[in-house]
Chain A
Amino acid sequence: MKEYVVQTYAISKKSGRKYRIKDVNLNVPRGVVYGFLGPNGAGKTTTMKILLGLIKADTGVAEILGKKMNPANRFRINQNTGSLIESPGFYPHLTAQENLEIIARYKKLGEKDIKEVLKIVQLFDRKDDKVKSYSLGMKQRLGIAMALMGKPEILILDEPTNGLDPAGIQEIRNLIRSIPEKFGSTVIISSHLLSEVEQMADYVGIINKGELIFEGPLSELETGNDSLEAVFLEMTKGA
């Protein structure tokens, strides 16, 4: 029996009459890198926001670390999560260090943690510069640093390699790959690139037009001689 850190039971969310996601059942085992895959607009971000309690599902339940997510305990559950949703959020008129400090105060962490994440994403030398002077890639790194603060049990990253250069992408991939072992965390990472997920994830969920169409270990996805990309295209086309 596997232990799941995140489970959802038929969560749906509508905007107007249209379903943004419909009856999604996610099961994320502990200690894996879970690749959450789907084309643009498939409902990845919506699902992740529900996992963090940022938006409420119309129907269905999300359980994080065995606790049901709701407005009352969202904040307590999220003491154990780190996240980067949509594009990184930050206060542009403050320095990177001050931005991280705000997170540190929210999560009741200290300067040691700030220093550590700054080193991990290699922004330590630029920590006293205002974030508005940062390039897109540096902002993305800062967003990842914010998510890493306090070595959370669950790390939820929404397309974390956006805006990074090839070297940066490689570096972040290696970092994410190493996180379960280093921090003992479970990582949920969304992407619209199968090739990317293939290099990082052990476990995959594929969502298309709001519905989860596949979930399982990456190895199960490999069918016959077809390349993974072809399998993915085939799956998302038909649904």
Chain B
Amino acid sequence: MNVLNDFLIETKKHKHRFNLLIPVFVVLAEIFFIYGNYHGRTGLENGWMLLFYNYPIINSLFLPVAIACFASRLTDIEYKGDMLKSLYTFSTPERIFYTKYIYGVISVVLLVSMMCGSFYINCKILNFPTKFPIKYLIIFAVTNFITCLTLFTIHMILAFFYRNQAVNITVGILGSFMGLFTAFLPETIFQKILPWGSFTTSMFVRIDWDRETRVTDWILTDPSFFPTVINILWIVLLTCLTLLMLKRSSVEEKEKQKRRPVNNKISLHKRPIEVLKLKGSPAWVAFIIVPVLSAIIGTINYTGNLSILTDGWYSLWSQHTLFLCYFFMSVMIGLFAGCIWRADHAGTNMNILLTHNKASTIILGKYLATCFITSLSIIWMVVLFIISGLIVHVDGPLPSEMIGWVSVGMIASWAICAFQIFTSLVIRNLIIPIVIAFIGGLAGLVCISKDIPYLTPYSVFDAAMNRGGAGIIPSIISSGLFIALFLTLSILYLSRSDAKTQE
């Protein structure tokens, strides 16, 4: 009875938080994505196999970040109002953790059921026959449920034991990246034991692409349950770890008061104010690590597929930037913009900030810091690209147009920064703007496929980084307009609205 009561309390806590919108969003995005790619195609009698092939790939892209966000939303409410210290007086850490966990598991069940439901919707709107062995849908549901549960367990631990939710989200982004990338590499044992990779390793439809006739065919294979078994082992292991940690946990003690020798000198910092505020925050870590992962995996993929990738530097570039630019850059910018605002949205800090600053100074300071780290990350990406190319001995000289792509891409990335700065200013929350960035990346992809790349900042960026697929002048004009628009909106919003504090 206690459990039920706790659970009801938990659902009350999440009133007005609209948590279930996250799975709904994911499922809608998936329908949208598949519809965008396949509508109007005929001759797909085995269309359902196509869905079983595409869903796991999209899942490994969407779900890790979505689940990380979800776990953060579950635990962040306790941290925001410093509620844990009072919760611990009438409940045990185990009860608090597992009530949230049950809430999450139920949400995961809902997510997977909605996904299975969306299967039929997709079949209907794409005119695929809906008659297929139900056995496969059940296998799909079970394997995906176990994978989601594993990821949820990981992210719940991170979200619960680390107050700073950026840690959790960063792991989600990295996981999503590795899961997606390893899907395109020859299968290794590493991929099979990686929870993020198991969306794709447990799929049972393989693609067969005939290079001569350019015909794609899907083949059913025997489902592999090995990754699912590994995932169950992960869950057991992580649960033991969690129980151990919960036993030793207590309300986060105020940092041990180290008595430092009194220093009579006051030495001021040189770094810009917004950078100083981010001291000790891991927000920038993803900007450095994700390009490295992208470079390593991209290079391996390039050397493994030399027979198809015959364009030398161009091919290598596309391997390096494909996923990084299409999805991860916007999410990383979203995370960074969220972190840079979070410090000032907290407590009564907005009072201080607004008493002493013009709205324009505040916005520009934060905007420039975001642009700076983003540009740095793009330069880092280019450096890694050149190094990898030299290591694997790519023939021919470096493409000279590259400077053009990268410059346009950088300007376009500043437009994304402006948009995210605005979003995180208005939505005083870390998670929702990241979800928006994610959806934005997706919308950008759709705009590119519909040949209207100048419609969103994301698509301008994608197009530019994808071998300069966009015109230089229109891209710059479009980015300039976006930058001006969102910075103006931010400044107007900040100067017109009342100061909001958490008091």
Interface residues of A, Cβ cutoff 8 Å to B? 49, 52-56, 71, 74-75, 78-79, 81, 83, 85-91, 93-94, 97-98, 101-107, 111, 114-115, 124-125, 127-130, 132-133, 146
CB pair A129 B347 closer than 8 Å:
no
CB proximity of A146 to chain B, nearest CB, Å: 7
Contact of A85 among B260, B267, B348 (CB under 8 A): B348
Q: Mark B481-503, 1 if CB is under 8 A from A, else 0.
A: 00000000000000110110101
- Chain A interface: which of B68-76, B186-194, B350-358? B350-358
CB pair A89 B350 closer than 8 Å:
yes
Contact A101/B498 with A52-B355, A133-B254 known, Cβ cut-off 8 Å? no
CB pair B258 A81 closer than 8 Å:
no
Top 10 closest pairs, chain A to chain B, by CB? A106-B356, A55-B498, A89-B348, A54-B499, A89-B349, A133-B255, A86-B503, A71-B495, A111-B266, A75-B358
CB proximity of A238 to chain B, nearest CB, Å: 29
Q: How far is the CA of A116 from the CA of B146 in the complex (A)?
A: 60
Does B368 touch A at the CB level, under 8 Å? no
Q: How far is the CA of A132 from the CA of B164 in the complex (A)?
A: 14
A53, A71, A79, A83 pick with most chain B CB within 10 angstroms: A71
CB pair A87 B503 closer than 8 Å:
yes
Contact A54/B351 with A86-B503, A91-B343, A98-B279 known, Cβ cut-off 8 Å? yes
Q: How far is the CA of A124 from the CA of B356 in the complex (A)?
A: 24
CB pair B279 A115 closer than 8 Å:
no
CB pair B348 A132 closer than 8 Å:
no
CB pair B356 A107 closer than 8 Å:
yes
Q: Mark B328-363, 1 if CB is under 8 A from A, else 0.
A: 000000000000000100011111101111110100
Does B269 touch A at the CB level, under 8 Å? yes
CB pair B355 A81 closer than 8 Å:
yes
A52, A79, A85, A124 pick with most chain B CB within 10 angstroms: A85
CB pair A75 B351 closer than 8 Å:
no
Contact of B279 among A79, A93, A105, A146 (CB under 8 A): A93
Q: How far is the CA of A101 from the CA of B361 in the complex (A)?
A: 17
Which chain A residues border B503 with CB–CB below 8 Å?
86-87
Which chain A residues border B277 with CB–CB below 8 Å?
91, 94, 102
CB pair B357 A106 closer than 8 Å:
yes
CB proximity of A27 to chain B, nearest CB, Å: 22
Does B268 touch A at the CB level, under 8 Å? yes
Which chain B residues border A146 with CB–CB below 8 Å?
352
CB pair A85 B351 closer than 8 Å:
yes
Which chain B residues border A125 with CB–CB below 8 Å?
262
Q: Mark B248-284, 1 if CB is under 8 A from A, else 0.
A: 0000001111101011001111000100110111000
CB proximity of A54 to chain B, nearest CB, Å: 4
Which chain B residues border A115 with CB–CB below 8 Å?
266
Which chain B residues border A49 with CB–CB below 8 Å?
351, 498-499
CB proximity of A202 to chain B, nearest CB, Å: 25
Which chain B residues border A98 with CB–CB below 8 Å?
269, 276, 279
**Number of interchain pairs (Cβ within 8 Å):** 100
CB proximity of A141 to chain B, nearest CB, Å: 16
Q: How far is the CA of A48 from the CA of B279 in the complex (A)?
A: 32
Q: How far is the CA of A88 from the CA of B354 in the complex (A)?
A: 14
Q: How far is the CA of A81 from the CA of B354 in the complex (A)?
A: 12
Contact A86/B348 with A94-B279, A111-B268 known, Cβ cut-off 8 Å? yes
Q: How far is the CA of A123 from the CA of B266 in the complex (A)?
A: 13
With CB as the reference atom, state the residue of chain B lying closest to A135: B254
Which chain A residues border B348 with CB–CB below 8 Å?
85-89
Q: How far is the CA of A98 from the CA of B280 in the complex (A)?
A: 13
Which chain B residues border A111 with CB–CB below 8 Å?
266-268
Q: How far is the CA of A93 from the CA of B343 in the complex (A)?
A: 9
With CB as the reference atom, state the residue of chain B lying closest to A52: B355
CB pair A75 B356 closer than 8 Å:
yes
CB pair A97 B351 closer than 8 Å:
no
CB pair B352 A89 closer than 8 Å:
yes
CB pair A93 B281 closer than 8 Å:
yes
Kindly identify, within residues 20 to 56 of chain B, every residue whose CB is under 8 Å from any CB belonging to chain A.
Answer: none
CB proximity of A118 to chain B, nearest CB, Å: 8
Q: How far is the CA of A19 from the CA of B496 in the complex (A)?
A: 20
Kindly identify, within residues 211 to 233 of chain B, every residue whose CB is under 8 Å from any CB belonging to chain A.
Answer: none
With CB as the reference atom, state the residue of chain A lying closest to B352: A89
CB proximity of B384 to chain A, nearest CB, Å: 30
Known: A75-B356, A127-B263, A130-B255. 5 other contacts (CB 8 A): A52-B354, A78-B356, A93-B280, A98-B269, A133-B257
CB proximity of B31 to chain A, nearest CB, Å: 40
Which chain B residues border A79 with CB–CB below 8 Å?
356
CB pair A101 B355 closer than 8 Å:
no
CB proximity of A109 to chain B, nearest CB, Å: 11
Contact of A83 among B267, B351, B501 (CB under 8 A): B351
Q: How far is the CA of A94 from the CA of B275 in the complex (A)?
A: 12
Q: How far is the CA of A20 from the CA of B406 in the complex (A)?
A: 54
Which chain A residues border B266 with CB–CB below 8 Å?
97, 111, 114-115, 127
CB proximity of A59 to chain B, nearest CB, Å: 15
Kindly identify, within residues 354 to 413 of chain B, every residue whose CB is under 8 Å from any CB belonging to chain A.
Answer: 354-359, 361
With CB as the reference atom, state the residue of chain A lying closest to B278: A93
Q: How far is the CA of A132 from the CA of B498 in the complex (A)?
A: 27
Which chain B residues border A103 with CB–CB below 8 Å?
352, 356
With CB as the reference atom, state the residue of chain B lying closest to A49: B499
CB proximity of A194 to chain B, nearest CB, Å: 24
CB pair B257 A129 closer than 8 Å:
yes
Contact of B349 among A52, A90, A107 (CB under 8 A): A90
Which chain A residues border B355 with CB–CB below 8 Å?
52-54, 74, 78, 81, 83
Which chain B residues border A130 with CB–CB below 8 Å?
255
Q: How far is the CA of A55 from the CA of B498 in the complex (A)?
A: 4
Q: How far is the CA of A127 from the CA of B260 in the complex (A)?
A: 10
Contact A132/B351 with A78-B356, A86-B503, A101-B268 known, Cβ cut-off 8 Å? no
